[in-house]
Amino acid sequence: MATKIDYYESLEVSRTASGEELKKAFRKQAMRYHPDRNPGDETAELKFKEINEAYEVLKDDQKRAAYDQYGHAAFDGGMGGMGGGGFGGFGAGGLGDIFDQMFGDMMGGRRGGGRRTGADVQVEVDITLTEAFSGVTKEVEVRTRVACESCHGSGSADASGGSTTCATCHGAGKVRAQQGFFLVERPCPTCNGSGRTVRNPCKSCQGSGTQAKTETLKIEIPAGVEDGTRIRMAGRGEAGGEGVQPGDLYVHVAVLSHEIFQRDGANIYCRVPLRMTQAALGTEVEVPVIDGSRSRVRIPAGTQTGETFRLRGKGFSVLRSSARGDMYIQVSVETPHHLTKRQRELLEEFEKEAGDDHTKASPENSGFFAKVRDFFEGR
């Protein structure tokens, strides 16, 4: 009997991967090995079943715990309590749910009302934090399939067209195949789901009605978009041939980190280092704002590391709104080093002037060591 590969190895994740990391890994692997993207490739088909099985177990906390403890034996019917004979997780709501939720309309799947479409296309776009604040138009290259230029998408070499009912699916546009315990339905590979085949196929596209092409598209990214946002562009995916609607284009937005600002929803945080003397005496500092302007912040005398000052309405854009969040200035008091001889003398003079009682100048320091003294005296 063939040895099953480790579920974590199947998804290419560590054994400590979070649920979100598992989902991302599954999406990536499933896109790569989906049968509709690898027609006739038995290795890809087996790999696809393997990663589905792995994800079905690992996404469930109880099943994952059982697998971590017992391995595949937890699901072979010998451990009890896990579904009896074999891998019981792929009943109703199992593999079918994964197809519906994870792929849905991809790979030329069905849309509402049984309408056939071409494959959806996925691209990722990197933008800066300032671009996410103001919104931006990005140009991206998309490798897709478009209507054949020679036959204008008809798939026929005859100007008048001409097609007949597909002999493989008998016009249904789909075929069924047994995969282990499952009956899987997929687009007909002969007619690409249209239910028709051309009598005299176009030589450029071999009758498919589509051809590969790299297009440069302009993507409008709105202000306030967050990292990981997915933008759908209806009808900008792959063409599906005659009588088949194009798929959709999905743009995954990745917002790059910034060297000054950190974003938390609609709020922005900015860490401002202060010299010890500035924090002790008080000062006023000028800080940048994400919109390119500047603001002055008054720092009162005696400010400590970790204290925060809020600038209302200076934060991030709110998606589809004119509102803005707030900006928070986080103070970090910097201890001087590489002192000159004179600087050291002044600090030693300050320490001497304070004497043994630092309760006024450094109340937190004095309070802590008073508690330490009481602790040892109590012992």
Query: Crossing angle of helices 19-33/42-58, nearest 10°?
Result: 160
* Amino acid, res. 48: F
Q: Is 109 exposed, middle or buried (0-12, 13-18, 19+ CB in 10 A)?
A: buried
151 is in an annotated binding site: yes
Q: Is 248 exposed, middle or buried (0-12, 13-18, 19+ CB in 10 A)?
A: buried
166 is in an annotated binding site: yes
Question: What is the rounded end-to-end Cα distance, in angstroms, of the chain?
Answer: 67
Phi/psi for 29 (5° steps) reads -70, -40
What is the rounded CA–CA span in Å between residue 151 and residue 131?
42
Judge whether 259 and 251 are in contact, CB under 8 Å: no
CA angle 153, 157, 163 (to 5 degrees): 75
205 is in an annotated binding site: yes
188 is in an annotated binding site: yes
For residue 8, the tally of other CB atoms under 10 A from its CB is 19
The number of C-alpha atoms within 13 Å of 16 and in the hemisphere containing its C-beta is: 0
Judge whether 327 and 267 are in contact, CB under 8 Å: yes
169 is in an annotated binding site: yes
For residue 177, which of 339, 1, 48 has the smallest C-alpha distance?
48
Q: DSSP letter at 289?
A: -
Residue numbers in the known binding site are: 148, 151, 166, 169, 188, 191, 202, 205
Residue numbers in the known binding site for Zn(2+) are: 148, 151, 166, 169, 188, 191, 202, 205
